Structure formats: C-alpha cells, structure tokens
C-alpha cells in the first residue's frame, strides 16, 4: 500500500516489568521475551518520503515520527510489535493511519536539527494525553547489521505489527533490508511518552543504537489467525 524512506532512527530500549506491560497489551497477544525480560522501545526518526505505492516519488510527503512499542507474538506465534503510541507531525498521516490501520497516532509539533554527528530532536503532542520528548544524541561508528539471535536483532529486526480493531486482531507487514546500525550516545533525554501510555518509568539507562535508515514497503492489514498456541 505505502512506500516510505525512514532516516536517522534512534532506537532507545528499556526492560520493563512484565506485569505492567501486560496490562497495556491486548489479551490475544503474548509478550515476547528475550532471556526472560520484556522490552519497550522508543524510536524518533525522519520519514524522508511517504507515498501510496501508485504515486510518483515527486508527490511524496516528508515528516517526523516517534513511536513507542513493545514485542509480542500473535496467536500463531508469529513475532511482531505492538504500538502504544505513534506521534507524527503530519495531520494527513495521522488521519490516514488512524482510519486505515487503526493505529494510535497523535498529531504532534516536532523539530529536528542535525549538526555534524549530533541530532537534536523534540516532540510535543497536540491532542490527547500530554506527551513530550526531547533527545539529543551523537552518531558513532558503524557496527553492521544485528546478528541473528542477539538482543539487538530481537529488538530491531521486526517485520509484523499487530493492532486490535473492533475487538478483532489484525496484523500488517513491512518489508525492508536489515537495518545498518551505528553506535549512539545519548547526551540528553527527557520524555513523558511512557507515562502517557500507562507505563512505569524505566529503572536504569537505556540500550540504544542509531540507523541511517532503510527504504520500506508497507502492506495492508489482514485478520490475524484465530488458532492459539
């Protein structure tokens, strides 16, 4: 349905108490764990190009987005992600994603500034529960794609999203090359997105990576299978 170019992603990961995350995830989904721990990830980034698949690139739009997600498995055990919230600086993108995908998008005032190897990023939600993000990070040396079986691979290489609409579970898929990764050093971070989603404050510093980005194909939602594990 949609082609996008995602650029300058910061992955910010925290382990959180499973019982608190469980309360915010639909019952049809199981929490996916890595070595017993449940993770939540915050991702601010730039969508440098977004367009319906049939539209020429010259008519594409660009905007900033931030999403907050956790890791789940569907009824047939397919791994994926579940979004608590998604902020976007485009009213058209927010309306389209809410209507077409049922995703919890919020319109936000957002800014991004790049100076050499430093990225300064800010977001403030314009409706719904108040939620803000201010983060500055430095981009380090390349580390290559995440190795299969590693924690980084578990957290980053996800190609299925789940959403509950009208009491039914749906899934959508994306397709892109593995993320090229670089080291990231967070200089400042202030956020209230977790609290706005009913999640507790993290205990300890996050694990983080930067990616210069990937080109993405986004497919239509389909009803998730009903059979259980």
Tens of pLDDT, residue by residue, the chain (229 residues): 899 999 999 999 999 999 999 999 999 999 999 999 999 999 999 999 999 888 888 888 999 999 999 999 999 999 999 999 999 999 998 998 888 888 999 999 999 999 999 999 999 999 888 999 999 999 999 999 999 999 999 999 999 999 998 889 999 999 999 999 999 999 999 999 999 999 999 999 999 999 999 999 999 999 998 765 5
Tell me 5's DSSP state: E
Domains of the chain: 2-221 (2.40.400.10)
How far does CA 223 lie from the centroid of its chain? 21
57 with 84: CB under 8 angstroms?
no
Distances (CA, A) of 59 to 46, 49, 52, 91, 219: 17, 9, 10, 16, 20
Contact 85, 131 (CB under 8 A): yes
**Torsion 171-221-149-136 (CA) sign:** negative
Tokens of 100: 């077409």
* Measured distance CA(6)–CA(148) in Å, rounded: 22
What pLDDT sits at residue 101?
86
β partners of residue 111: 122
Q: How far apart are CA 82 and CA 24, in angstroms?
A: 10
Question: What is the DSSP code (8-state) at residue 146?
Answer: P
Query: Do residues 11 and 216 touch, judged by C-beta distance below 8 A?
Result: no
Determine how β-strand 105-115 pairs with β-strand 79-88. Answer: parallel
pLDDT at 221: 92
139-154 in b/e form (b: 16+ CB < 10 A) is beeeeebbeeeeebbb
Paired tokens of 11: 């992955």
Burial level of 128, CB count in 10 A (0-12/13-18/19+)?
middle
Strand partners, 49: 5
Q: What tokens appear for 185 in the block?
A: 């050093």
* CB distance 69 to 82 below 8 Å: yes
* pTM as predicted: 0.94
């Amino acid at each position: 349905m949609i082609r996008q170019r995602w650029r300058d992603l910061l992955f910010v990961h925290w382990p959180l108490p499973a019982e608190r995350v469980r309360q915010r995830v639909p019952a049809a989904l199981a929490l996916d764990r890595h070595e017993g721990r449940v993770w939540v990830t915050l991702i601010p980034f730039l969508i440098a190009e977004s367009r319906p698949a049939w539209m020429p690139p010259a008519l594409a739009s660009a905007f900033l987005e931030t999403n907050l997600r956790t890791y789940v498995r569907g009824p047939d055990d397919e791994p994926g992600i579940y979004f608590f919230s998604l902020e976007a600086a485009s009213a058209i993108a927010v309306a389209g994603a809410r209507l077409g995908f049922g995703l919890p998008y919020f319109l936000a005032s957002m800014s991004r500034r790049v100076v050499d190897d430093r990225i300064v990023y800010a977001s403030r939600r314009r409706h719904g529960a108040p939620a803000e993000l201010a983060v500055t990070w430095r981009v380090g040396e390349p580390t290559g794609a995440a190795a299969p079986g590693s924690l980084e691979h578990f957290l980053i290489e996800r190609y299925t999203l789940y959403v509950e609409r009208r009491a039914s579970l749906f899934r959508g898929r994306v397709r892109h090359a593995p993320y090229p990764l670089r080291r990231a050093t967070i200089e400042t971070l202030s956020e209230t997105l977790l609290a706005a989603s009913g999640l507790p404050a993290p205990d300890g510093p996050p694990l983080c990576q930067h990616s210069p980005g990937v080109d993405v194909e986004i497919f239509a939602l389909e009803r998730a299978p009903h059979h259980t594990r």
